[in-house]
Structure 1
Amino acid sequence: MSKPCIICVAITGSVPTKAANPAVPISIEEQVESTQEAFEAGATICHAHVRNPDETPTSDPEKFARLKEGLEKHCPGMIIQFSTGGRSGAGQARGGMLSLRPDMASLSVGSNNFPTRVYENPPELVDWLAAEMVKYEVRPEIEAFDLSHILKAAEMHKKGQIAQVPYVQFVMGVKNAMPVDREVFDFYLKTVHRLFGEDVAWCAAGIGANQIVLNDWAIAAGGHARTGLEDNVRLDRDTLAPSNAALVKRTVELCEKYDRPVADWKTAREILGLRAA
């Protein structure tokens, strides 16, 4: 298989702390340095959250602006994807950084259970976030925690609420949400192809020890892969990941296993239909 594989690195997230793994980058400076290492290792999308000094999550646009500036300087050409996830803020504060015009942003189009809470994405907020992404020419990545989220993305695309053919990421392994199940994965993929075409770009993410499992399934099936310390802080049960770059390198090795070239940033932008850097 010669189809290039895009590697997304989710560098920080809203949950992992330095107590869990000292390599989790919290400050803007740490995030930029960690992303630069991951970029050099083969990642071409940076999925970014920002944190306060006490490690709590935030949607502060000023912090996102500083991170974007640092990434553009030290990782030229890399695709910057901001999170609009619900752990970082409430209501429209979740999209307050979209006016900064990142290349991409995550978009969850439906609600589901998380380990200790309901991940709420009410329809009016989803519609508003999608409208802001259209307004500022930000390509959404649909984070699908459930089959209904893929179908909702198709409905929104048909209505013009999502400008381009949806780029869907299957998220599996979140406790109380969709477990890692190969038959479900295969049906997700079948559904994406049925709704959006056989050549549509898609991605997959696995949580915790399942990160490497979903990397393997996605790369083998012709999709793109997400890795990083947001989703998983270990290389194995006994070994903490020393960096985001280490997790990227592991994903690169899977690409080699399946004869998938790793997409450089120019190729990744072409595949995703993004504007030039």
Structure 2
Amino acid sequence: MPLRPSRDVFITCAVTGAGDTTGRSHKVPVTPEAIARDAIEAAKAGAAIAHIHVRDPETGKPSRDLALYREVVERIAASGTDVVLNLTAGAGGDLVLGSPDAPLPVSEAGTDMASAEERLAHVAELSPEICTLDCGTMNFGEGDYVMTNTPAMLKAMAARIKALGVRPEIEIFDTGHLVLAKWLKEQGLIADPVMVQLCMGVPWGAPDDLASLLAMTANLPEDWTFSAFSIGRNQLPYAALALSAGGNIRVGLEDNLWLSKGVLASNRDLVERAVTIAEGMGSRVMTPAEVREKLDLTRRW
């Protein structure tokens, strides 16, 4: 496969995520005020897109509370900062089984299964330019948690997202998820231009070795726009790999807490480092306005 590095590249900052990271770094934003602040700082550092989850301000655990999303969006809008908003729609597909000896009934602790309408309530209310669509089901961690997105649920969510006029970012954690994404597109449930995020190195999905990344990109339709990232210590090296493969960059505290060995990162730090990597490789970092034009996005906030 010939090298085809991106000459114009956009950076997404995944600001906080839903993982159990708040106890490992005090820099992970938890409150709506802190999440909005980090999104604004990331945008000023060069991120065109801010990928937003929200957390319970009291516990730090993931939430899908509409009021929390509204506060984050309103704070970003009030700042006057230009950034493309990408709200997660992953919450509501969390299944935690019982023990291997008694998998049923499912555990009430951690299980959060919601309808397609409920999972997209904040998207319908707040009209972001982008929302995510986790395109498949996958084991997470070493316990009994399963990220659950059945084909029927994906069809319903994709149809709803399209009706709302929001661009889905298709999150691909494994090769079969890419097959599902193509299937949804063939049914007319995903509009052009298609936007994909290759989520590499997440146990137990696609590993983040170079061969796996190239296998993924080789099977992407040529007219699809993609970003790629890895987690932990490989996040920053993957900025260069994604760019070299013709893609765009994602960094942020959702996926990695460290700037270097022993040095905790902020979201701004990670975006600044991604800008340095991109510019050092001869690429130009795109503005939010340029990303809107590229992806045919409509700003409504």
Residue 70 of structure 1 deviates from its aligned partner by 1.4
Judging by fraction of residues, say which structure has more helix: 1
> Which residue, 147, 151, 157 being the options, matches 1:129?
157
Is 2:139 the counterpart of 1:113?
yes
Alignment of structure 1 residues 80-95 onto 2, 5 Å: 80-85=85-90, 86=93, 89-92=112-115, 93-95=118-120
- Please state if 1:63 is matched with 2:89: no
Taking the aligned partners of 2:39 and 2:81, their CA distance within structure 1 comes to 11
Question: What one-letter code is carried by the residue in structure 2 that aligns with 1:134?
Answer: K
Residues in 2 aligned to 1:23 and 1:76: alpha-carbon distance in whole angstroms: 21
Q: Secondary structure at the match of 2:285?
A: coil
Stretches of 4+ aligned residues off by more than 4 angstroms = none
Supply the AA of the counterpart residue of 1:94: R
Q: CA deviation at 1:75?
A: 5.0
Q: Any gaps of 5 or more consecutive residues in structure 1?
A: none
**Contact 1:36 1:75 (C-alpha < 8 Å) held by counterparts:** no
| Residue range with higher mean Cα deviation, 47-56 or 158-167 | 158-167
1:171 equivalent to 2:199? Answer yes
Residue 27 of structure 2: aligned partner: 23
Task: Please tell me whether the aligned partners of residues 16 and 229 of structure 1 are also in contact (alpha carbons under 8 angstroms).
Answer: no
Structure 1 position 205, deviation (Å):
1.5
User: How far does residue 256 in structure 1 lie from its aligned partner after superposition?
Assistant: 1.1
* 1:23 positional shift: 0.8
CA contact 1:98–1:132 (8 Å) conserved in 2: no
1:255 to 264, 271, 278: 278
1:143 alignment counterpart? 171
- Once superposed, what is the RMSD of the aligned Cα atoms? 1.7
Q: Which runs of 5+ in 2 are unaligned?
A: 95-109
Name which of 72, 75, 82 aligns with 1:77.
Answer: 82
Is residue 72–residue 78 contact of structure 1 (8 Å, CA) maintained in 2? no
- Select 2:128's aligned residue among 102, 107, 121: 102
Matched residues in 1 for 2:137 and 2:157: separation?
Answer: 14
Q: Could you tell me whether the CA contact under 8 Å between 1:218 and 1:225 is conserved in 2?
A: yes
The one-letter amino acid of 1:253's match is T
Shift of 1:236: 2.2
Q: How many Å apart are 1:182 and its aligned residue?
A: 0.7
* 1:14 equivalent in alignment to 2:42: no
> How far did residue 109 of structure 1 move?
1.8
Equivalent pairs: percent with the same residue?
Answer: 32
Q: Deviations over 1:181-240 (max 9, x none)?
A: 211111111111xxx22x532100211112112211011222111000010011123111
Mapping of 1:94-243 within 5 angstroms?
94-99=119-124, 100-115=126-141, 116=143, 117-192=145-220, 196-197=221-222, 199-241=223-265, 243=266
CA contact (8 A) 2:52 2:88 kept: yes
In 2, the alpha carbon distance for the partners of 1:113 and 1:237 equals 29
Aligned residues: 272
Partners of 2:80 and 2:260 in 1: how far apart?
Answer: 28
Higher-Rg structure is 2
DSSP-derived class of the 1:97 partner:
helix
Normalised by the length of structure 1, the TM-score is 0.93
Whether the 8 Å contact between 2:8 and 2:286 is mirrored in structure 1 is: yes
